[in-house]
Amino acid sequence: MEWKTSQQPVAYDEALAFMDERVKAIHEGRAPECVWFLEHPSLYTAGTSAKEKDLLDSRFPVYESGRGGQYTYHGPGQRIAYVMCNLKARQKAPDIKKYVRDMEQWIIDALAEFGIKGERRCGRVGIWVVTPEGEKKVAAIGVRVRHWITLHGFAVNVAPDLSHFSGIVPCGIAEHGVTSMEELLGRAVPMADLDEALKRAVVLP
């Protein structure tokens, strides 16, 4: 497994091109699996289930992503983890649902290192926390599989501008808000600290 970290924001098209090429290389046995930590410039992405009405204000560029899910926001202060993992090589019977559950646990375990209790919710993909204002999402998940090799992954809100989420209905869920590690803890969390926690907590099939 290669761990790759980009220190500067990565254009979305560039990230998609990298994932496409790496998945092809993994499939052909030319490259190892990869987890890529990065940030994007502010943008919205539309998953395969995105509904046009959920794009409320296209203040940022909008990209068709090809991943599962609906609309989401990416931007500075958000840790993206793109995971290119060969499920066929790791599992006797490739199981995408198990892969997503493992990814949820991975995020939950990493957040626990900071004293944040992340939780699953039935029917709502992502990681949720209970706040005085109600349940809020702290991490989003969206995956795609090609040749039983995964693309895309998850996004943890470390310290993004939360007002940028108001241009969409995040993941099609209007009744619950979004939050960040910074908002929950009342202090800044260095991105590198989360990266190290994610490496320690990694859960893959």
Q: Any idea which residues carry the catalytic annotation?
A: 171
d(CA 176, CA 162): 13
Sign of the dihedral through C-alpha 121, 125, 130, 133: negative
Q: What are phi and psi of 136, to 5 degrees?
A: -135, 150
SS3 134: strand
Whose tokens are 């993004």? That residue is 160
CB 52 within 8 A of CB 8: no
Calculate the dihedral angle through the C-alpha atoms of 111, 113, 116, 118, rounding to the nearest 10 degrees: 40
Give the C-alpha distances (Å, rounded to integers) separating 145 from 53, 87, 176.
Answer: 27, 9, 28
d(CA 89, CA 190): 34
Count the residues in the chain. Answer: 205
Which residue in 167, 134, 184, 199 sits closest to 55, CA to CA?
Answer: 167
